């Protein structure tokens, strides 16, 4: 299975079409180099790779793209707790504001998917 | 065992003394909040936490502190390959220059420790 | 008085509830460590601390959180001029685009609060 | 002709009024120092200066201001292809997420202006 | 008195000559725009401006230039404690690594000047 | 001719060996993707690409790698003035400290190569 399918799941076709329309050449590099070459390398499981991707994106200011990898982490076996720990830890290295912005995106995503935080459910 | 001992290993006393001399209050926060509270949280194993720390530090420009966590990752069960994959992947998100700087630090560390890369040993 | 009350003012309850819903653990660290421990330290008055916070946030790209500290600065005795000087100076160190983004947020805030700039009133 | 007119084109009056209302002093520095002094220097043509500006803004996270310089590049003789190459190349140095965000802004701009990508028309 | 003299103190001539040799035009902008125009503006005292400068530089990764403004802060009335608080607070917004790097530079500076930290003397 | 030869010039063999020893896989991506695929694309001449690379690296904090591209720009037809303008302009977007750090590296490079600035000779 392609790495993009593993990370994008049901959004595969929508994301692929969208990125291709943004720019066919840039998308080709994202597809063939970023996803199907580098992220497809052996040596780290995809769950860990997605937690690392989230960490990189938090450092960049937690832009919208982070939603793709927050979903990708859950889709590849990360628990909600593991994603939360990843976000919380990043506050130590890049500060609370970027970590908080990422957590807001994650909370909105969980709400949209009808997943209540185990913390909130008590 | 304290998280600092798990990450710093044999360098524990030297690092502790050095940071305490740099600033006792800042070190107290690094010790009590960063290491013994946040990095000590359950939910992610220490090996994964160290790979995430490396990723955050690469995004910051791979400063000298990264050596502490490159060693910390190895000390907590990360293989040389897992650290290399963490560094290589980060190039996708924060660019090649910062990833390359981190890899140079990692290579110097492996050489100092007399560990030849399996790649180089052929 | 808690530091959060001093900075958040009338927004205290709304912000506290919102952050607690985003993530109870991350909020606990923001509350107990960031605000009530570090920002509560003696040695710098709260007005200066808020101008420093604004400066840090401009360097991060002036995200939405900056509004909290722009209001916090005014609430703790900073004049409109002092906030403007803080923003203008930051252009020297981190560039005009991030300084301009912060100034736009500040101007929108002043308008919302019905405060006309003394400059604009002439 | 002023550099601002060359870069802002038909948006000159709207941008000038908007920035003046955001802050008269900050705008005065942007006008007199950034545009009419530094960007007006000889030694590099304005097209190249705008491609450099785009590159700087991508590194900062591709904020909204980038639209001004994407338009400014086209207005000063850059082809669509030259702007695309500038954005694509930046992925090597600052990562794919910020490059992709810039390309999305560029694509939206081309659509708004009724310019179809030659690639898409292909 | 010029702002540069107030900030650079006894190092004025050495810094001026050094920067002029690095690049006469860039130095002219640093001198005439950054120091003698922006940092010379009324509305914030020079001590506060230097603490803000330190904060901006920590966010940029605490490069060597920070030493100039650490000295400049002390030279314009900041106590050692005020500088330490400025550095410690920045850890909340931009993370511990950059704050720690700045504190190491500050400690080295205090040692060079034969100033023992009151904490250490304590 | 390979893009690496065009940019690295006489340093080609030394750089290639050095990077290969740092990490064979990361170097393979830098060689085959960054240089021989992306930087080799048509649509922008190599001189402009090197000025853009310098701009990206200044935004990242002007690390040592910038020397490679400062030399690469000169090697591909950029004049000393064009490189200086590129560095000076970047101060507007990412601040004076990173621009100044890049200019120091450029000045050191020109001295090493026995090229006196026309300004200085003047």
Q: What is the pLDDT of residue C119?
A: 46
| Contact residues for D54 (Cβ-Cβ < 8 A; gap 6+) | D66, D69, D70, D73, D83, D86, D87, D102
Residue D69 CA: distances (Å) to CA of D58, D75, D78: 11, 9, 11
- Whether residue E96 contacts residue A92, with contact meaning beta carbons closer than 8 Å, is answered with yes
The percentage of chain C sitting over the pLDDT mark of 70, rounded to a whole number, equals 93
Q: What is the dihedral of CA D113, D114, D115, D117, to 10 degrees?
A: 120
Is the model more confident about F8 or about B114? F8
Q: How many CB atoms lie within 10 A of CB B38?
A: 19
CA A108 to chain centre: 14
Average pLDDT on C12-36 reads: 97
Which of E33, E38, E43, E61 to mutate against chain D (most D CBs within 10 Å)?
A: E33
**CA separation for the pair D34, D84 (Å, rounded):** 25
What is A44-117's CATH number, 1.20.1290.10, 3.30.540.10, 3.20.20.150, 3.30.9.10?
Answer: 1.20.1290.10
Closest to B76 in 3D by CA, of B93, B52, B100, B57:
B52
- Whether residue A95 contacts residue C69, with contact meaning beta carbons closer than 8 Å, is answered with no
Task: Give how far C30 is from chain E: nearest CA, Å.
Answer: 9
* Nearest-10 crossing angle of helices C46-59, C66-75: 160
Average pLDDT on F61-87 reads: 96
Give the Cα-Cα-Cα angle D59, D62, D63 (nearest 5 degrees): 130
Domain ranges for chain B: 1-41, 45-122
- Helices then strands, counting H and E runs in chain D, come out as 8, 0
Task: Give how far C120 is from chain E: nearest CA, Å.
Answer: 17
Task: Give the count of Cβ contacts less than 8 A between chain B and F.
Answer: 48
Q: Is B33 on the interface with C (CB under 8 A)?
A: yes
pLDDT confidence bin for F77, thresholds 50/70/90: very high
Q: What is the pLDDT of residue C30?
A: 98
Look over chain B and give the mean of its residue pLDDT values, rounded to a whole number. 93
Question: In the complex, which subunits touch D with 3 or more CB pairs below 8 angstroms?
Answer: A, B, C, E, F
Closest to D104 in 3D by CA, of A16, A22, A25:
A22
Fold topology of D45-115: AhpD-like (1.20.1290)
**CA separation for the pair E80, E4 (Å, rounded):** 21
DSSP class of residue C115?
P
To which residue do tokens 């910020």 refer? D98
Chain A residues with CB inside 8 Å of B81's CB?
Answer: 43
Average pLDDT on F78-106 reads: 98
| Cβ-defined contact of C107 to D29 (cutoff 8 Å) | no
Q: C12-16, D114-118, E63-67: which has the highest mean pLDDT? A: C12-16
Is the model more confident about F4 or about D115? F4
Q: What is the pLDDT of residue B113?
A: 86
Classify domain E45-117 at the CATH class level: mainly alpha
Q: Is residue C64 over pLDDT 50?
A: yes
Tens digit of each residue's pLDDT (9 = 90 or more) over C31-45: 999 999 999 999 999
Closest to E20 in 3D by CA, of F106, A35, F120:
F120
Q: Is residue A32 over pLDDT 80?
A: yes
**CA separation for the pair A26, A32 (Å, rounded):** 10
pLDDT confidence bin for B115, thresholds 50/70/90: confident
β strands within chain D, DSSP E: none
**CA separation for the pair E82, E69 (Å, rounded):** 13
The percentage of chain F sitting over the pLDDT mark of 70, rounded to a whole number, equals 93
To which residue do tokens 């991350």 refer? C26
Q: Is residue C117 over pLDDT 60?
A: no
Q: Is residue C120 over pLDDT 60?
A: no
For chain B, the 3-state helix, strand and coil shares in percent, each to the nearest 5, are: 80, 0, 20
**CA separation for the pair B75, C88 (Å, rounded):** 46
**CA separation for the pair D36, D17 (Å, rounded):** 17
Q: What is the pLDDT of residue A115?
A: 72
Those of residues 82-111 in E touching chain B at CB distance below 8 A are 84, 87-88, 91, 95-101, 103-104, 107
Chain C residues with CB inside 8 Å of A107's CB?
Answer: 21-23
To which residue do tokens 């609060």 refer? C113
Q: Is residue F81 over pLDDT 80?
A: yes
Residue E106 CA: distances (Å) to CA of B2, C71, F113: 29, 31, 35
Closest to E5 in 3D by CA, of C72, E14, F114, B63:
E14
| Cβ-defined contact of C81 to E55 (cutoff 8 Å) | no
Phi/psi at A64 (nearest 5 deg)?
A: -55, -35
CA B52 to chain centre: 9
Q: Which helix (H) or strand (E) holds A103?
A: helix A96-112
- Cα atoms found within 13 Å of the Cα of residue B47, Cβ hemisphere only: 11
User: In this structure, what token pair is assigned to residue E50?
Assistant: 């230097």
Max Cα distance, chain F (Å)? 48
User: Of B78-87, B112-121, E99-108, F56-65, which range is least confident?
Assistant: B112-121
Q: What is the pLDDT of residue B119?
A: 45
Look over chain A and give the mean of its residue pLDDT values, rounded to a whole number. 93
pLDDT confidence bin for E1, thresholds 50/70/90: low
**CA separation for the pair C87, B95 (Å, rounded):** 29
Yes or no: domain B45-122 corresponds to CATH 1.20.1290.10: yes
- Whether residue F9 contacts residue F71, with contact meaning beta carbons closer than 8 Å, is answered with yes
DSSP letter string, E13-54: HHHHHHHHHH-HHHHHHIIIIIIIIIIT-TTS-HHHHHHHHH
Tens digit of each residue's pLDDT (9 = 90 or more) over B39-63: 999 999 999 999 999 999 999 998 8
User: In this structure, what token pair is assigned to residue B51?
Assistant: 């790979």
Q: Kindly give the confidence (pLDDT) of every residue in chain D, 122 residues in length, as a single tens digit, with 9 standing for 90 and above.
A: 699 999 999 999 999 999 999 999 999 999 999 999 999 999 999 999 999 999 999 999 988 889 999 999 999 999 999 999 999 999 999 999 999 999 999 999 999 988 755 444 43
**CA separation for the pair B28, E10 (Å, rounded):** 35
Residues comprising chain A, all counted = 122
- Whether residue D86 contacts residue D57, with contact meaning beta carbons closer than 8 Å, is answered with no
**CA separation for the pair B36, F20 (Å, rounded):** 39
Closest to B94 in 3D by CA, of C61, A29, D93:
D93
CA D85 to chain centre: 14
| Contact residues for D8 (Cβ-Cβ < 8 A; gap 6+) | D15, D16, D68, D72
To which residue do tokens 């190491």 refer? E104
Chain D residues with CB inside 8 Å of C120's CB?
Answer: 21, 24
Q: What is the dihedral of CA A104, A105, A108, A114, to 10 degrees?
A: -120
**CA separation for the pair C92, F92 (Å, rounded):** 8
pLDDT confidence bin for E51, thresholds 50/70/90: very high
Q: Is residue C122 over pLDDT 60?
A: no
What ipTM goes with this model? 0.93
Residue B41 CA: distances (Å) to CA of A79, B13, D2: 15, 23, 58
To which residue do tokens 């803080």 refer? C86
Chain C residues with CB inside 8 Å of E85's CB?
Answer: 41, 43-44, 49
User: In this structure, what token pair is assigned to residue D5?
Assistant: 């007119």
**CA separation for the pair D1, D76 (Å, rounded):** 13
Q: Which of E23, E61, E65 sits opposite F84 (nearest CB)?
A: E23
CA B99 to chain centre: 14
Question: In the complex, which subunits touch E with 3 or more CB pairs below 8 angstroms?
Answer: A, B, C, D, F
**CA separation for the pair D116, A26 (Å, rounded):** 17
| Cβ-defined contact of B94 to D91 (cutoff 8 Å) | no
| Cβ-defined contact of C96 to D24 (cutoff 8 Å) | no
Q: What is the pLDDT of residue B116?
A: 56
Closest to B34 in 3D by CA, of C34, F95, D102, A107:
C34
Fold topology of C44-122: AhpD-like (1.20.1290)
């Amino acid at each position: 299975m392609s790495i993009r399918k593993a990370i994008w799941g049901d959004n595969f076709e929508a994301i692929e079409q969208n990125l291709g329309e943004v720019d066919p050449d840039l998308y080709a590099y994202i597809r063939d180099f970023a996803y199907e070459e580098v992220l497809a390398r052996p040596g780290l499981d995809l769950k860990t790779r997605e937690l690392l991707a989230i960490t990189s994106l938090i450092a960049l200011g937690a832009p919208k793209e982070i939603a793709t990898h927050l979903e990708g982490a859950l889709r590849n076996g990360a628990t909600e707790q593991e994603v939360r720990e990843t976000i919380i830890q990043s506050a130590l290295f890049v500060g609370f504001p970027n970590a908080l912005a990422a957590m807001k995106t994650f909370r909105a995503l969980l709400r949209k998917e009808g997943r209540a935080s185990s913390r909130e459910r008590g």
